[in-house]
Structure 1
C-alpha cells in the first residue's frame, strides 16, 4: 500500500496515544514465574501475591500481617538485611542469587527495592545451573562488540550476541528517533529472515509512560503472553492507592500490550533498555514464538551486556565526534586564514563552503549578517529569507536549530519546498540575530512502516480502552516536503562551528566597535586639538597685530612687519604638516626663511653643523625668531648691502641641547637699537619664555652676533652632518627669482570667504588688473565664464561642500592661466585631480602671489 503524506485524512485522530493514560505501573498483578511480598518499615507483611504458595510454599493469607522473619528462614532474612544499602537510592535494587528462603533448602533469586513506604521483595525459584557460569558466556559476546566501528555492524553484533545469550527466536535493535518513533537498525533471527529490519514503528507503539519505565527499569521479561498472572492482595493500601510496581521485575503486563504482542504472533518477549547519556537511546526487543523464561541471574547478565553495548555505542559516537572536531578544527584554521588575509566574513565563509559541506552535508548556505544576505547553492530568495529570519528570531533561541520539514513549522516555506525542505540555523550573534543557515533539498522518500502508523484502533474486549492494530504488514508512505534528517554528529559539528563563528563574529564586531571607538576618540581629540590650535592662532594673531602696531612708525611698516610674521608662521606650519605634525628639520626651517626673504643674497649665507628635528610646539616659536633675525639682517645688517655675509653654526651640547650661533660680517656699521620693538622682544624673549632655553644678541661694530640654546626636551633627534667639513650652502634655486610682472585686463577670484577674496582681489589689482570678479561657488564661476574670459584667475580649492575642479578644467580648456590657493599643504593627491597648475599656500603674501603669477604664465598651454 502506498499513500502520499500530504493526503492523510486529518479527521482520523483516534490512535494508540490513548495508551499514554494507562496506569501500567499499578496493574496489581505479578507474572506467574515469581511471587511478591510488600513489607512495612517494621518488616510486617502488608501485601502478598496470590501465587505465594506455589512459589514459596506458604499461603498468602497466612503471610499477611506476620513479620517477615516468621515466613523466611534466618539465613535468607539476614542476606536481605545485609544488602539494603543497595536500595537506598531512588532507583536502587538489591539482586540476590541462590538465597535459601525456606526450611526445605530450596534456593531463590531475589530482588529487593523500595516503593513508597513499602519494601518490595520478589522471589523466583532458582533453576538448576548444572555448573554453568553465566559470566563466562557473557564475556565473549561483550568482547565481540569491540571489533568494529560501524553502527549497523555494532548493532548487528549485539543482536547476534544477545540471541546466543538468551535463545530468543528474534532479537531486534530498535533506535528511537527524534519524534519518538522507532527504527529497527539490526535484526537477528533464528530463521535467518529479515522481517522488520529497516522498518519504522510509530511512537504510539511505546506509550509515554512505557518509555519512562524503560528508563527506570532496564529489563522487562514477559515469559508467556497467555499467562494471566496472580493478583496482589490486598489490591490497595489503607490510603486506597495500589502498590507502585514501577521497579518490580515480576510486574504483570498491560492487556493492551499483551494483545499487541499476540497480533505480532509473539508468545514471549524481553525488552532491554539501551541508555546513552542518561537518556533512552533505544531497545533490544527479543521475541519468541513460544513461552520462554530467562532466570533472574541470566537477565542480570543480559543487563550487563546492554550496559557494555551502551559503552561501545558511546565509544563509537565519541569517535565520530572526535573526527567531527578534527574536521571542524581544520575548518576553523582555514576560515581564520582567509580572514587573516583581510577577507570579509561572508567572503571567507563562501570560500570554505565546500569544506563545510564535507563536515555537514548540505545543498545551500546563507549568511545573514547585519541585515546583509549572502548565499550560495539551493537557498530561499532574499525576500523569502527575510520572512524566515523573522521566524527564527522569535522561535529558536540561541542554540543550533534543525528541522527536516521546514514547511511544517514555517508555512510560507511550502512555496519553496522543492529548493529548501530542511534547515539548520546556527545563530552567530546576539539579537538582532545573525545566522549561518545550511539548507537541504526535498528528498522524496518511501518509508516502510510495520503497519499503518495513523490507522485508528477499534474498541475491543478491553472495555473503554483501545485495541492495538492487528496488522504488521509493510505499509509504505511516500514523504514529500522533507529533507534528509540532520544527524547527531552534524548537530555537534554545528555547535562547534557556532562557537567558532561566534568567536570570529564577536572579534570582527569588537574590532569594528573598537575601531569606531578609536575613530571617535581620535575625532574628538582632533576637534579638541584643532579648537586649541585655532584659539592659539587667533590669540597669536591678535598679539602680532597689537605688538606690530605699537612698534611700527608708519602704516606701510606695520603692514610689512605683520605680513612677514604671519607668513613665517605659515611656512613653519607647512613644514610641520608635511610630516603629519611630527618633528621637523631645523635646517629646512633656516633654509626656508632665507629662501623666502634673502632671494639672490642666499649665496652669501652658510650653514654649518648637524641637523636637528625640532618638536612641533617649539618649531613655530623658532620660526618667528629666525624670521626676525633674517628680516633685520636684510633691513639693517649684513644682507643689506652686497658685501655682507651671514653664518649659522649648529653644535650639540654634552647635555643634549643645541646651540645656534648667528654671525654677521661685512655689512654696514651696526648700531644698537634705540628702542626695543616687538621684533627685538621676539628674538630675546621667545626661546627663554616658551622653550625654557637661552637667547643672547650683541650688536657689535663688526656685525650682529647672537646665540640661541635649545633645551634637549624640544629636540627629537640629532641628524649627522652631510658632506665633508660639515658646510652647506643654501641654493638660490630654493626660491623663485621674481621678476616684476604686470597684469592687464580682467581677473577672476573664486573664494568662498569674502575677506580673503577681497584681499586677493586687491593684490591682483596692485599687479595691474583693471577689474577683478569675485565669485563664491563653482556654479556662479561657470555661469560668469560663459560670457567672460579673464586674463588670470585665482581659485580656492575647497568651497564648503564642493571643490573648484570644474572651473579649473574650463579655464585650462580656454587657455586662461590660473593659480590654485589651498590651506592643505602640498597635498599631492589633491593636486592630481586638477589640470597642471601652480599651487599657492594660504595665507599668501604679495610676493608669494607675484611669484605664483609669474610661474603660471610660463606653464605650457
Structure 2
C-alpha cells in the first residue's frame, strides 16, 4: 500500500512490506518521494484517472490487472481510493489468484439476467447465492438479512454438498457489531483471502498532525483479531463479504466462507462488487413493488372506508361498523378507538386498565407519528400480564394534539427460533490471557419466543400513516360540518326567537284584552276569576292542538268535543255534532276556540246546558266557494230573555270572526234558544278524510279531600297556582323544585300520590319516577311541551296532563281512591 499527499502526490505513508515489493532497500527510499519516482508512469496515469471516479463514488475503484515491470510484484491488481487528502494505491499480485480474469460487466449482465426470472424474493435471493458461488467457488455462500431487533438470519444459501446448511439460522447482533456494520456501509466488498496472513504495519502509523490514518476504505486493511478468531472457530479460513444496501441502510450481506484460503482476482472482485450493487437495487425495487402492491390495495380499501364514512358517522362514533374494513387494510386481531375521553373496542384487546395504561403512555410520547411494536412489554413492562392475548400494537394518533388514537392489536405469536449457537453467549473469557474470545460453538440452538406478535410490515406502517392523515381530514370535514350546522342552528334559533317573541306578545296582548274586557262585565271577583281562568284555558287548549300539528292546522271536531267535555260528561247525547272532517288553520282555530268557549259558557250558565233536557246541535259544511259555514242551535233550554246588558262574551261571539278572519257572524234569540251562524272565508278550512272515533269514556273524578300530594314543579308561579287549585279541592300539597328536594320530602313524610313535571331545571324527573315505582307510590307526569315530550317506554302506562294545571284534569287523572 502506498499513500500520497494530495495534490502534490508525495508519498507520505507505506506498508512495511512495500520496499521489498518495489525492489527498494528501505522505507526511507519511499517516504517524501514523488510518486513518479516510485511507480511506472502508465500505472500512475491510470491510477489518477481511476481516483477521479473513486472520489465521486466515495468507494474504492479497481483497475484491470496489469504488468508492473516490477520483478517482485509481476502482474498486479490495483485498487485506488481517496480519503482525507490522501490518495491510496493498493497493489496485489494477481499471479497467485485462484480465479482467472473476467470482464466484470459481461459477467454481471449474465448473472443478473437469470435473477429476473425469479418469481418472488426468496427465490431471487437463492438464485443470487447460487450465482455468487458459481463465480467465486466458495464452499458456502449465504445471503444474510438484518432484522429489526439487530440480529441476522440466513435468508438464502448455496453450499458444497457435504456441508450442514445454515439456512434459517439466526445470529445475535454481537456477531456483527455496530462498528463492523458501519464499515460495511462504506466499503461494499471485503475480501479476506487467508485468515493466517501476516499483518504488515503502516509506516508512519500517524499523520503529521498526530491523528490516525483512516483505512476504512482500504481493501488491504488488516482484520480484527477477534473476528479472525471468530472465523477460525467456524472453521473458515477464507471469506468474502459483499454489502446489500437498501438506500443508505445496510439490508444485509452476501457472506462467502471457505475452509481453505481463497484468493480472488481483481476482476472477479470488481464483478462481484458490481453484482452486489445491482442486486441491492433490484432487491429494493422488488420489496418496494410488493409494498406498493399491498399499499395500492390498502389505499383502495382506505378510499372505500372514507367513502363509507359520513362526517357524522365515523369510526370515532361506531367502531364496530367499520372494523372489518380496518382489518382488511391492516390485518389485526383487535381494535380500539380512544376519542374525546371515550373508549370503543372490537375483538382481542387488553383489559380496560391495560388499555388506559397504553393510552397514557402514548399521550406522554407527545409524538404525532404512529407507534409500532411487536413486543409491547418492552415499552410497558406491565403489558406482560396480558401478553398471551395482546403482544403487539400499532397506534395511530389522529388529533392535532396526540391524545386520541386508533389502536390495532395483534395476539402473541409463539415461535421457535433456531440460532447458530447460543445467542446468550456471544463471547467467553480466554483463560490464557483474560481476553474475551468469540464463542466456539455454532451448533443449532432452539429458543421458544413468547410475548411477541407477528411483526408489522413496512407497507402496513405506510398505510397506517395514510390512515392517520385521512382521519385528520375526516376530523376537519367534521369540524367544518359542525361549524356550518352551528351557524345554521344559530340562524334558525334567531328566527325561532323572533317568531316566539311575536307569538308570545300576541298571546300576552290577547290575555291582557281578556282581563280588561272580563273585568268590565264581571259582577264579582269570583265570577271575574272564573271567566278569566276558563277563557285562558280555551286559548291554552287551542295552543296545544296547534303545537301538536306543528302550528299548521288542527281538527274542528276535536275543538268542539273538548269544549263540550269541559261542561258536560255526556257529550254525544247533549251536544250533537254533524259535518265533514275539517281542519282549521292556526288563526281560524284560535279565533273559533274563543267563540266556541263563550257559546258553551253561555249555554252552561243560561242556555241549553243549564238544564238536563237541553240540547245543542252544531253543524258545519264546506261551501262551493271554499268557505266554511257553521251553525249553532239550542233547544229544550230555559226560556230565553233578551239580556239587559251586553257582556264581553257576547262581544267575542259576535265580533271575533268578522274582525280576525274577515268572516261573518249572525246571532238570534227565539223561544227555543240561541241560534247562530258563522262563515269563515275560503282558505281557513280544509276538508279531510272522515274517520270515526269511539265515544270518549266517562272519567272517574278523584276525591282529593284529605290526600297528601307531592308536586314537583320548578316554576314558582305555576307551582303556587297548582297548589292553590289542589288545596281548594281539599288536598294537602308539598311543593319541591328539584329531584333532590323531592327525595328529601319523601324521606320525611308519606304521600298518597305525586305530580311530576317532566322537564325540571337542568334535569328530568325520570330518575325520581323510577324511585316512586320502587316505593309503589302512584304518580302522573305533567308537561307544557304537549305530545312532543319524550317519555321512556318504561313509563308508557303513566298518565300525562298538560300545563297549566286544571283542577278537572288533575282530579280525573290522579290515581288516588
Report the TM-score when normalising by structure 2.
0.70
Q: Deviations over 1:278-326 (max 9, x none)?
A: 3212211112333322233322221222234334433554465467557
- CA distance in 2: counterparts of 1:758 and 1:810, whole angstroms: 26
Which of the residues 439, 462, 465 maps onto 2:411?
A: 439
Which of the residues 176, 179, 183 maps onto 1:209?
A: 179
Matches within 5 A, 1:386-425: 399-404=370-375, 406=377, 411-412=381-382, 419=388, 422-425=391-394
Deviation (angstroms), 1:275: 1.5
- CA distance in 1: counterparts of 2:393 and 2:785, whole angstroms: 55
Q: Deviations over 1:24-72 (max 9, x none)?
A: xxxxxxxxxxx33323134444334455566667786555444445656
- CA distance in 1: counterparts of 2:698 and 2:32, whole angstroms: 133
Distance verdict in 2 for CA 1:666–1:334, change over 3 Å: closer
Aligned position for 2:86: 118
Contact 1:670 1:700 in 2 (8 A): no
Q: Deviations over 1:313-343 (max 9, x none)?
A: 3355446546755786798799999999999
Aligned position for 1:458: 430
Aligned position for 1:31: none
- CA distance in 2: counterparts of 1:404 and 1:848, whole angstroms: 70
Contact 2:725 2:807 in 1 (8 A): no
1:46 counterpart = 2:12:
yes
- CA distance in 1: counterparts of 2:103 and 2:793, whole angstroms: 97
Aligned position for 1:552: 521
Aligned position for 2:241: 271
Deviates more, 1:341-350 or 1:202-211: 341-350
Contact 1:750 1:757 in 2 (8 A): no
Matches within 5 A, 1:172-191: 172-191=142-161
- CA distance in 2: counterparts of 1:421 and 1:805, whole angstroms: 43
- CA distance in 2: counterparts of 1:106 and 1:648, whole angstroms: 130
Aligned position for 1:583: 552
- CA distance in 2: counterparts of 1:307 and 1:238, whole angstroms: 36
SS in 1 for 2:429: coil
Deviation (angstroms), 1:212: 0.2
Q: Deviations over 1:794-818 (max 9, x none)?
A: 9667597334996999899xxxxx9
Which of the residues 289, 294, 297 maps onto 2:267?
A: 297
Deviation (angstroms), 1:214: 0.3
Higher RCO structure, 1 or 2 (CA under 8 Å, sep 6+): 1
Matches within 5 A, 1:1-12: none
Distance verdict in 2 for CA 1:536–1:507, change over 3 Å: farther
Deviation (angstroms), 1:428: 5.6
Which of the residues 558, 562, 572 maps onto 2:542?
A: 572
Aligned residues: 757
- CA distance in 1: counterparts of 2:390 and 2:407, whole angstroms: 18
Which of the residues 62, 82, 107 maps onto 1:137?
A: 107
Matches within 5 A, 1:615-626: 619=586, 622-626=588-592
Aligned position for 2:725: 759
Contact 2:336 2:345 in 1 (8 A): yes
Aligned position for 1:562: 532
Which of the residues 464, 468, 491 maps onto 2:437?
A: 468
Deviates more, 1:154-163 or 1:95-104: 95-104
Contact 1:571 1:592 in 2 (8 A): no
* Root-mean-square deviation over aligned CA pairs: 6.1
Distance verdict in 2 for CA 1:552–1:380, change over 3 Å: same
Deviates more, 1:247-256 or 1:50-59: 50-59
Which of the residues 204, 209, 219 maps onto 1:234?
A: 204
SS in 2 for 1:567: helix
- CA distance in 1: counterparts of 2:366 and 2:617, whole angstroms: 90
Deviation (angstroms), 1:228: 2.6
Distance verdict in 2 for CA 1:624–1:229, change over 3 Å: same
Contact 1:422 1:483 in 2 (8 A): yes
Which of the residues 407, 421, 432 maps onto 1:449?
A: 421
Deviation (angstroms), 1:168: 1.8
Deviation (angstroms), 1:82: 5.1
Contact 2:396 2:407 in 1 (8 A): yes
Aligned position for 2:2: 36
Aligned position for 2:460: 493
Deviation (angstroms), 1:676: 8.9
SS in 1 for 2:421: strand
Contact 1:662 1:707 in 2 (8 A): yes
- CA distance in 1: counterparts of 2:90 and 2:269, whole angstroms: 15
- CA distance in 1: counterparts of 2:783 and 2:733, whole angstroms: 17
- CA distance in 1: counterparts of 2:800 and 2:216, whole angstroms: 97
- CA distance in 2: counterparts of 1:583 and 1:101, whole angstroms: 111
Deviation (angstroms), 1:138: 3.1
- CA distance in 2: counterparts of 1:565 and 1:368, whole angstroms: 58
Contact 1:368 1:434 in 2 (8 A): yes
SS in 2 for 1:440: coil
SS in 1 for 2:786: coil
Q: Deviations over 1:222-278 (max 9, x none)?
A: 223233354433332221123212122332323333343334333321111112243
- CA distance in 2: counterparts of 1:773 and 1:847, whole angstroms: 17
- CA distance in 2: counterparts of 1:207 and 1:811, whole angstroms: 81
1:426 counterpart = 2:387:
no
Distance verdict in 2 for CA 1:87–1:452, change over 3 Å: same
Distance verdict in 2 for CA 1:676–1:432, change over 3 Å: closer
Distance verdict in 2 for CA 1:89–1:593, change over 3 Å: farther
- CA distance in 1: counterparts of 2:394 and 2:306, whole angstroms: 21
Aligned position for 1:14: none
- CA distance in 1: counterparts of 2:68 and 2:459, whole angstroms: 53
Aligned position for 1:314: 284
Contact 1:367 1:374 in 2 (8 A): yes
1:825 counterpart = 2:793:
no
- CA distance in 1: counterparts of 2:443 and 2:750, whole angstroms: 93
Deviation (angstroms), 1:217: 0.9
SS in 2 for 1:456: strand
Q: Deviations over 1:441-487 (max 9, x none)?
A: 655666441787344232768xx9x46336244263x6466356643
Gaps of 5+ in 2: 609-614, 635-639, 669-674, 712-718, 737-741
Q: Deviations over 1:697-722 (max 9, x none)?
A: 68799988777698xxxx9xx96x55
Matches within 5 A, 1:344-743: 347=320, 359=331, 365=334, 367=336, 369=338, 399-404=370-375, 406=377, 411-412=381-382, 419=388, 422-427=391-396, 430-431=402-403, 435-440=407-412, 447-449=419-421, 453-458=425-430, 466=435, 468-469=437-438, 471-474=440-443, 476=445, 479=447, 482-483=450-451, 486-487=454-455, 489=457, 492-493=459-460, 496=463, 500=467, 539=508, 543-544=512-513, 546-555=515-524, 558-559=528-529, 561-579=531-549, 581=550, 583-585=552-554, 614=585, 619=586, 622-631=588-597, 679=652, 683=656, 695=662, 721-722=687-688
Contact 1:589 1:623 in 2 (8 A): no
- CA distance in 1: counterparts of 2:214 and 2:469, whole angstroms: 49
Deviates more, 1:321-330 or 1:197-206: 321-330
Contact 2:105 2:271 in 1 (8 A): yes
Report the TM-score when normalising by structure 1.
0.67
Q: Deviations over 1:564-599 (max 9, x none)?
A: 4312322222223324x4533475787678767997
- CA distance in 1: counterparts of 2:223 and 2:52, whole angstroms: 29
Deviation (angstroms), 1:193: 1.4
Contact 2:421 2:444 in 1 (8 A): yes
Gaps of 5+ in 1: 1-34, 653-658, 688-693, 765-770, 813-817
- CA distance in 2: counterparts of 1:761 and 1:224, whole angstroms: 115
Deviation (angstroms), 1:165: 1.1
1:165 counterpart = 2:126:
no
Distance verdict in 2 for CA 1:516–1:183, change over 3 Å: same
Distance verdict in 2 for CA 1:98–1:386, change over 3 Å: same
- CA distance in 2: counterparts of 1:252 and 1:230, whole angstroms: 8
Matches within 5 A, 1:733-812: 746=705, 748=707, 750=709, 752=711, 753-760=719-726, 762=728, 771-772=730-731, 774=733, 801=765, 802-803=768-769
